[in-house]
């Protein structure tokens, strides 16, 4: 029986909310061809000449607003997810079912702990089979595939490559859909209903969809499935895309524009959920919960509430466990 291990992956975050640390993180992130694919020399000129000179200071200020005692929310939440998942694996005697201890490690595509750190930790524990779970419910080449690239890069220098089982996406997994629907229901039990429910996803350039990246389609499908489970009608909800970066066209509608339109049309209350994020981070805690809230209220809306990501909720850990158990070999 092969010893098996799990690698929980996410995007990554700076080590500190300082200009220097954010510059290092953005430098690594924005050099990835999966994220920005324009001609290298043109992009390096723009990146080093403009973006890395101006953006880090601005973004570090935003990180300082969401930073916690435990560090960046994205990393702190991923660490909690790991701990709870490991406890579940131990408590349910999954180890015994699969013969040997099943360790769970975390890794980030950019920053720390890196994909190489995570794979090295599993190697040190003797894993001959690795289940990679990118915590991106919807597949995108900018996210899921960039983790795949880093895994391949790590093994280029290794003599032994373990068997790898890779979770491509889980955008329509029944337990994921149910967990999202439950999170809306529970939020509404506590805070009451809003006029509109907005499903705001991190966007990608329109070019991605045109070239066959299934991300947008999967976001739309997740929304349709959650809406069906909640029994909402067309007027009750909408889908939108946030976090645009750069000058090209991104998939539409844009979250900030839709919120402005709604507020101007007289929509008074909105609740926003962001299903592409498995952990709250800068894009939800600052952009969605603060910036977009201001946009809605400044344009005439009166109530705006953000529904937190699934984070380390019991149902989310259960979903991860199901995704892993489907892939563990006896």
User: Which segments are annotated as binding site for Fe(2+)?
Assistant: 202, 283
Smallest gap from residue 13 Cβ to ligand L6N33NVT (A): 3
Asked if residue 170 lies in contact with residue 326, where contact means CB atoms within 8 angstroms, the answer is no
174-191 and 215-230 helices, crossing angle to 10°: 60
Q: In what order do the strands lie in the sheet containing 163-166?
A: 104-108, 4-10, 129-134, 163-166
**Torsions phi, psi of 221, nearest 5?**
-70, -45
As separate numbers, helices (DSSP H) first and strands (DSSP E) second, the chain gives 13, 8
Q: Given the complex with Fe ion, which of 53 and 228 has the nearer CB atom?
A: 53
Query: Looking at beta carbons only, is 146 or 194 nearer to Fe ion?
Result: 146
Q: Select the residue interacting with ligand L6N33NVT from 4, 21, 72, 223 (CB under 6 A).
A: 72
Q: Which does 72 bind (CB under 5 to 8 A by kind): ligand L6N33NVT, Fe ion, none?
A: ligand L6N33NVT
By CB under 5 A, tell whether 152 contacts Fe ion.
Answer: no
* 9 belongs to the binding site for ligand L6N33NVT (CB under 6 A): no
Chosen from Fe ion, ligand L6N33NVT, none, partner binding at 277 (C-beta under 5 to 8 Å by type): ligand L6N33NVT
CB of 86 to Fe ion, least distance (A): 27
Under a CB-based contact definition with an 8 Å cutoff, are residues 202 and 276 in contact? yes
Angle in degrees, CA 66, 295, 206, rounded to 5:
85
> Structure tokens of 64?
């300082």
Binding pattern for the stretch 187-226 against ligand L6N33NVT, x by CB under 6 A and - elsewhere = ---------------x-xx---------x-----------
Binding Fe ion by CB under 5 A: which of 1, 38, 44, 45? 44
């Amino acid at each position: 029986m092969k010893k098996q291990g799990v690698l929980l992956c996410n995007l990554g975050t700076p080590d500190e909310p300082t200009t220097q640390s954010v510059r290092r993180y953005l430098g690594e992130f924005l050099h990835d061809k999966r994220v920005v694919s324009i001609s290298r020399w043109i992009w390096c000129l723009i990146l080093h000449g403009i973006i890395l000179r101006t953006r880090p200071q601005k973004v570090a200020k935003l990180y300082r607003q969401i930073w916690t005692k435990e560090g960046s929310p994205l990393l702190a939440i991923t660490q909690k997810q790991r701990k709870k998942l490991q406890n579940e694996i131990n408590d349910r005697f999954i180890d015994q079912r699969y013969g040997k201890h099943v360790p769970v490690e975390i890794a980030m595509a950019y920053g720390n702990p890196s994909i190489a750190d995570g794979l090295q930790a599993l190697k040190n524990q003797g894993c001959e089979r690795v289940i990679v779970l990118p915590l991106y419910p919807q597949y995108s080449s900018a996210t899921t595939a960039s983790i795949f690239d880093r895994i391949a890069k790590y093994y280029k220098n290794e003599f032994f490559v373990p068997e790898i089982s890779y979770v491509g996406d889980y955008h329509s997994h029944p337990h994921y859909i149910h967990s999202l629907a439950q999170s809306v229901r529970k939020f509404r039990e506590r805070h009451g209903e809003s006029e509109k429910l907005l499903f705001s996803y991190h966007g990608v350039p329109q070019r991605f969809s045109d070239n066959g990246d299934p991300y947008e389609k999967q976001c739309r499908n997740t929304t349709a499935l959650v809406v069906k489970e909640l029994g909402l009608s067309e007027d009750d909800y909408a889908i939108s895309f946030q976090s645009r970066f750069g000058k090209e066209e991104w998939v539409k509608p844009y979250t900030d524009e839709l919120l402005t339109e709604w507020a101007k049309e007289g929509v008074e209350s909105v609740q926003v959920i962001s299903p592409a994020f498995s952990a709250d981070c800068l894009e939800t805690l600052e952009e969605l919960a603060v910036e977009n809230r201001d946009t809605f209220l400044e344009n005439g809306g009166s109530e705006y509430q953000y529904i937190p990501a699934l984070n380390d909720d019991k149902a989310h850990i259960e979903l991860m466990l199901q995704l892993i158990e489907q892939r563990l070999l006896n």
